[in-house]
Amino acid sequence: MIRSFPMLQAFVSPDRIRSLFTEAMSQMYRAEVPQYGMLIELVADVNAGCLENDPDLRDRLARAGELERIDVERHGAIRLGTADELFTIRRLFAVMGMQPVGYYDLSVAGVPVHSTSFRPIDEAALNVNPFRVFTSLLRLELIEDEGLRGEAEAILAKRRIYTPRAVALIERHEQNGGLTEAEATEFVAEALETFRWHGEATVSAETYKRLHDAHRLIADVVSFKGPHINHLTPRTLDIDAVQARMPERGITPKAVIEGPPRRHCGILLRQTSFKALEETIAFSGDDGAIQGTHTARFGEIEQRGVALTAKGRMLYDQLLASVRGEVQVGAGGAKAGAYDDELAARFKALPDSWDELRRADLAFFRYSATPAGIAAAVGSMLPSDPEALIAKGYLAFTPIVYEDFLPVSAAGIFQSNLGTDQQQNYATRSNRDAFEAALGATVQDELALYAERQAASLDWALEALGLAGLPLKTVA
């Protein structure tokens, strides 16, 4: 039997598809949520100012290959309703080179979801466009009222959030190993449909109210045709400056910035958000004559710092927990000042220089051979200890940026946009196995990814210095 092989076709790189998609998504969101466009302009303004005033920062970002990605960098978030939806979103994001990284259990904060982040993982892909989507799956098992749970399940079972053409193109990608330029263009347009806002609810006003009374988030996930993108977040180089300038443009941000305090050496992730829209929606039945409002979509900005090792992260979690144990910010932002002061004071326990963070094995770094090191290597004048190489200026290191999310911060972002009166006492029920079963894959361990990048960079650097394979005392 003669097997026929498909003709060799030129496939578009997943990085390019991701960039096309990010641009299309950004344009769609700009049209849907005008404040987002304003925010992008403000962030671009502040970032340009930072780079101009801080040549060290510019130099560090350039050396890390991060300078070009800042302007296109965004993260977004969606909330899915069923295991099937999560399974297919994994395949959809795979077309754009995005993989599930990390497991976040938000039930601890009274939010009935668990989540992962889809993002590119290798350094080259991250530097082209590090687009990430924080993707949550509703945990219907956490709805106590059995009748309501069954009803929500039945509503979700009926909806189809992907267009048939999007699914066909995902399958083609899986079978052929890629998409052609024409297919990629079509895929981007079709995939975008899943993230679009729909003002027509699929449920009646009465059902919406019952879902909403159980939890606002349940109404948001169950009542609509699809998982509208609920925010798209640009990355700023100075979150305090953007936060301070938001009111100039008529925007009131959340009372405190989530995450670590402002520091000379930024760590992990700092975020702040604001309520964007109260949208008019039409309920099903009565020809859409019954209207209501729904708040789903918001604005957010983020500032990213160095990724912490397990040891650094443990210290971060302890310090943050101690601050939150001491001061709790009230509903209307009461005690925000005291919280910020406490945060700044307690985080003094975490060293604030790149070299101290590195030596104490608290953060991840990317190593490289310097021109001076390569020149010295030619004359074989190198010490064989990485610390000595660093001291002599032969080996350089730059912080590896944190590409992931923080569960406590994410819960704060959820809460601030859902209304602070929504706290319910869900038990701490992390269920990673169920999440991965729905996803149809295991989520990658973010710490392992950073550790690999650090180790690989050190290997390359030592090879460039002609020291590969030598029994060196390794760094951190």
Q: Which amino acid is at 74?
A: R
Q: Which residues bind Ni ion (CB under 5 A)?
A: 233, 300
What does 230 interact with, of ligand OOG, Ni ion, none (CB < 5 to 8 A by kind)? ligand OOG
Question: Given the complex with ligand OOG, which of 195 and 405 has the nearer CB atom?
Answer: 405
Confirm or reject binding of residue 126 to ligand OOG (CB under 6 A): no
Considering only 151-159, 319-327, 340-348, 409-417, which stretch makes contact with ligand OOG by CB under 6 A? 409-417
In whole angstroms, how close is the CB of 466 to ligand OOG at the nearest point?
44
CA-CA-CA-CA torsion for 134, 138, 144, 146, nearest 10 degrees?
180
Confirm or reject binding of residue 303 to ligand OOG (CB under 6 A): no
Question: Given the complex with Ni ion, which of 300 and 446 has the nearer CB atom?
Answer: 300
Residues 128-157 that bind ligand OOG (CB under 6 A): 134, 136
Residues 76-115 that bind ligand OOG (CB under 6 A): 77, 79
Question: Given the complex with ligand OOG, which of 218 and 413 has the nearer CB atom?
Answer: 413
Sign of the Cα torsion 350, 351, 354, 359 reads negative
Residues 228-287 that bind ligand OOG (CB under 6 A): 230, 271
Q: Which of 413, 443, 458, 467 binds ligand OOG (CB under 6 A)?
A: 413
What does 119 interact with, of Ni ion, ligand OOG, none (CB < 5 to 8 A by kind)? none
Residues 282-301 that bind ligand OOG (CB under 6 A): 300
Question: Given the complex with Ni ion, which of 370 and 416 has the nearer CB atom?
Answer: 416
What does 88 interact with, of Ni ion, ligand OOG, none (CB < 5 to 8 A by kind)? none
Question: Given the complex with ligand OOG, which of 217 and 306 has the nearer CB atom?
Answer: 217
Nearest residue to ligand OOG on Cβ basis: 410
In whole angstroms, how close is the CB of 251 to Ni ion at the nearest point?
16
In whole angstroms, how close is the CB of 134 to ligand OOG at the nearest point?
4
In whole angstroms, how close is the CB of 405 to ligand OOG at the nearest point?
5
Considering only 58-66, 162-170, 174-182, 410-418, which stretch makes contact with ligand OOG by CB under 6 A? 410-418
Site mask for ligand OOG (CB under 6 A), range 29-68, x = bound: ----------------------------------------
- Which of these, 227, 216, 267, 218, lies nearest to 409 by C-alpha position? 267
Question: Given the complex with ligand OOG, which of 256 and 382 has the nearer CB atom?
Answer: 256
Considering only 186-194, 274-282, 371-379, 406-414, which stretch makes contact with ligand OOG by CB under 6 A? 406-414
Question: Given the complex with ligand OOG, which of 90 and 228 has the nearer CB atom?
Answer: 228
Chain residues in the site for ligand OOG (CB under 6 A): 77, 79, 134, 136, 230, 271, 300, 405, 409-410, 413-414
